[in-house]
Structure formats: structure tokens, C-alpha cells
Structure 1
């Protein structure tokens, strides 16, 4: 009898596994807390929440795929099925997003100016940066400042990443830096940088969402919509927010 049960299990297992839909979750955000050096981080943890949620019931296998922004754009243009994680609607054209739907916001983020406490910088407008050296991240564009940077009115020094910029600030090589609040909150907690000053006025605010391709099909899109809707009450999500220091920018829907 036991051998018969085992035989039936082995026969049925491939068909059960084959019925599971693989779903790519794309991200082009490689900075902490989204991606960490140990290949973990908030993005991988979020994908695990999607996989382990009871409502999934083993129907979908979500897999994190880290891509440069240009390769994300190619997938959108080719109408590939997938989910885009931590994306901001304003950073995509209507044509790029036409074949999918945006979720409600997951995080309310912003580009913050951070400076030393003995030389606090308060942002008012681009002219308020004219006498400072601004730390930026290589390859990033900062909306509202690009004209003054191009003309040389704002002196910008680039670093490979946000942590290098923070180190330059602490050593006095730059006057202020721009950093997403999500990244700043993580480093403030991990590196104990609570004494640094954050301008009351950010450069701009933006929200982070899921974008879900219509090509995934109704079952997957409905699952994702309900998952995001219930996220504020999800205790595992709340634990992640606490772990990465992100409670101040979490949304309550």
C-alpha cells in the first residue's frame, strides 16, 4: 500500500509542478536596502513574501531578476510577461506602461539632501546649492538641477554609490549629498548616522509601486492586486519595514 502511494506521488508530482506559473519580478534598483552585498535585501525578501503567502497556494513561483534599466525598457517594449518592482509611474512613459497596470504605492520616497550637523544645508531652490559641492551618484540625473549642473553653477562630484557619498560627506569633501530616503533610512540605522542633518525640503518626492503586465493572465494579476491591497496588514511586511528602518515611508492603504 505504501509503495502504491509513493508511486502515485512520483507520477503526479511532475504534473503538479508543471502547473505552477513562473513569474519574473524585475528590478533595476541595486542600492540598499533593495539589494545587499549578500544577495539578500528587501527585493528578495518581498519576492519571498509573494511566494510564501497563503493565497498563492503554490500557483505561482516568483523569481527576482536584476536588470539594468535599459533591459527593463526592452522587456516592456516587447510586452514580456512580468512584474516590475519598486517602479515609479512618473519615470515611465504612458507607452511603456500601456500593457500593464500600476499597483497602489508601496513606499513614499523622496530625494533628500543630507549634510553635516555643524554645517546644515537647507534646500530652497537650485540657487541655494551654488556655493556648495553636491555629491551625486554616477549616472543619476537629478530633476530640477541638471541645467545648473551643466552650466557649472552647481559643482557636482560623483561617487559610485550612496555609501561612498556618505563617506565623502563625513570626511568634508562635499557640502551635501542627494540620497533616496529609503536608502538613507537604511544607512542611518545600520551605520548609526542619526546625527547627520536632513533638509526639511527634499529635491522631489516619488512613490514606489508594482507594475504588473497584463500578459501574466487574470489569475496572477488578481493575486498580486489582493496581495498589495492587504500588505499594510501583513505582519511579515511590517517586520521587513522595521528590519530595514523603512516604517517612516511605508504607506497605509
Structure 2
């Protein structure tokens, strides 16, 4: 047994054997944060955390992709973990009480996107009356819900942003609501020359942070805070942003 332990310590240094596992959660199922066959930005960020020079195998960050309901259950149970790309306004206080939020990682924008042949500029809900609006199942668009419920805006839902983008290009809807992060990514990968018009006025803007639950050890929380604070100066992080088309999405968000 002693010989076996010595062999293990020779092959695997003590720092690796002792790496502390840390749960990392993400609930965005679509690009650029998640991707079907290629690593998404969530996986790339977790790899950066694990390989950062200041980590030195102290922590083993382990990513799990969760649907929103399962994520909410983990937050409600006060499980120790880290949540990527979170926005405080999108979570009730009861789920995030005592949590720690990093500085913003990205500024995202909920854009109105239309076809160049029939451009739509948003100027309040009335500017969408009589139009077919592409949305995503389960998403709530508070400023528009009243007019949607009255039938003044015809909302058509799909499962993801790429489906809406294809419907828009085929002019099967008049305008789509889409996070800028998705649109910029698809402009690199799916529709680089798409004839799209983006309304100067969006529906809303929102910062994406990293959340650390209150039950996470204080040392881990402090480590993540410092690493995220240093990311704007990281050449590797800037390379990732360019890879996913997000280099113009630096935080904090602009005012509209």
C-alpha cells in the first residue's frame, strides 16, 4: 500500500490530488454560452479558471449545464456553487440571499432584429402593433406582455434564437427579440452576411456576472472575485471574446 501511495504521488503531485472540486453551473442552453458539438463560452471560461496561473491546481472547477428549474432548486437548497452569466434582476431575492456577485463580465442587450427589406425601429410597444414578434419559449418580455395579451402584438415562440433568426431571414416573422451575444456569434458562424437591421433602441440591457452562493467557502469566493476582476487585462480572455464575436460587449452596459 505504501509503495502504491508513493507511486501515485510521483505520477500525480499532491497539489493535483488535493485539488478542491467546485461546482460551476450554467443555464444558458444556446450559443455562444453553450454549443452542440464545439465548446461554448461557458466551457472555455471554466477551462480558463482551471488553468489560470493563480490557481495552480488548488481548485477543480466542474461545469454542469442545468435547466432553469433545476438551477433554482439548487439555489433554494443553498448548495455551494458558482453560477455563470447571471443577472441579479433575473433572480428573486429568496434564491440569491447572501450570495456574492462579481463585477460584470459582459454587457448583453436584448435587441429587436428585423430584415433589411422591412426594418423595424422600436419606440415603445405601440411601434410593434400589428407585427409578428419572434420570441423564445419561457422568456418574459415585461414591457410588451400587456400588448401581447391584448393581441396587439402577435408573439410567435420558438425554442432558440437560431430558429428565430432563420424565420426572420425567410420573412416568416417581422421582428425578433434576440440577445446581442447570440446575434454576434451567429454573424460569425451561421449567417455572416445576413441582411439584418438592428433597432437603435433595444428592449433592455443587462450585465452578466458570476454569482457565488453564500455556502461557498470564503477563500473560494475571494479567489473567483479576484480572477474575474483581472479578466479585462487577460490576453486569453480577450482572445476568447474575439473567438465568439463578443469583443464589443465589454461591461458595464451603456445607457440608452
Aligned positions of 1:56-205 closer than 5 A: 56-190=55-189, 191-193=191-193, 195-205=195-205
Offset of residue 160 of structure 1 = 1.8
Mark the CA change 1:193 to 1:24 in structure 2 (over 3 Å): closer, same or farther: farther
- The superposition leaves residues 151-171 of structure 1 with CA deviations (integer Å, 9 ceiling, x where unpaired) of 111101111211111111111
Indicate if the aligned counterparts of 2:26 and 2:66 stay in contact, CA closer than 8 A: yes
**CA distance in structure 2 between the partners assigned to 1:193 and 1:146 by the alignment:** 32
Aligned to 1:10: 8
Deviates more, 1:139-148 or 1:169-178: 139-148
Aligned partners of 2:97 and 2:214 also within 8 Å: no
Query: What's 2:221 paired with?
Result: 221
Alignment coverage as a number of residue pairs: 250
- Paired residues of 1:232 and 1:251 also in contact (CA < 8 A): no
The match for 1:248 is: 248
Say which SS state the counterpart of residue 95 (structure 1) adopts. Answer: helix
- Partners of 1:239 and 1:35 in 2: CA distance: 17
Give me the TM-score of the superposition, normalised by structure 1.
0.93
Say which is worse superposed, 109-118 or 93-102, in terms of deviation. Answer: 93-102
Q: Post-superposition shift, 1:140?
A: 1.4
Contact 2:169 2:194 in 1 (8 A): no
Q: Give structure 2 stretches of 5+ with no counterpart.
A: none
Runs of 4+ deviating beyond 6 Å:
4-7
**2:75 aligned counterpart, secondary structure:** helix
Kept in 2: contact 1:79–1:99 (CA 8 A) = no
Distance in 2 (alpha carbons) for counterparts of 1:127 and 1:80: 44
Task: Tell me by how many angstroms 1:34 deviates.
Answer: 0.5
